[in-house]
Amino acid sequence: MPTIRSKYLGELRTEAIHLASTSKLITDAPLDNQGKGEAFSPTDLAGAALGSCMLTIMGIASRTYGINLESTEAEITKIMASNPRRISAIEIRFFNLPTNLSAHDQALLERSARACPVALSLHPEIEQRVTFEWK
């Protein structure tokens, strides 16, 4: 059974509907690829998926081990290559992490993030540059 239905709307724009919840997502081609850049591009979503997946898996680990991650954030930078046009790297910087964690708990969360399903599904040629700011 499908989980998403996508439709081409014209002008390099698509709409994706999550069938279980009916949540909608619009994509546009980016400005540097003939688009309007008025919404996430499909390749932006790959970066967003990686960051969100990492945060989710860290959240599961934090729930299991009683760690509060509620203020944790990530900034994601997608780097494109040409010939062929593709994602060459995704940089993720985690910040606003808990300040009172042991080195063991920090390592646990970092391992959890790097083992998320999206991270394990991306092509190995896509560099995943992940940093954790434990302050």
State pLDDT tens for residues 44-91.
Answer: 999 999 999 999 999 999 999 999 999 999 999 999 999 999 999 999
Strands 13-18 and 4-10: antiparallel
DSSP 32: G
Q: What is the pTM of this model?
A: 0.94
| Residue 81: both structure tokens together | 């290559």
Q: Which residue has the tokens 């900034």?
A: 75
Pairwise CA distance, residues 132 & 113, whole Å = 10
Which residues, in sequence order, are CB contacts of 75 under 8 Å at separation 6+? 92, 93, 95
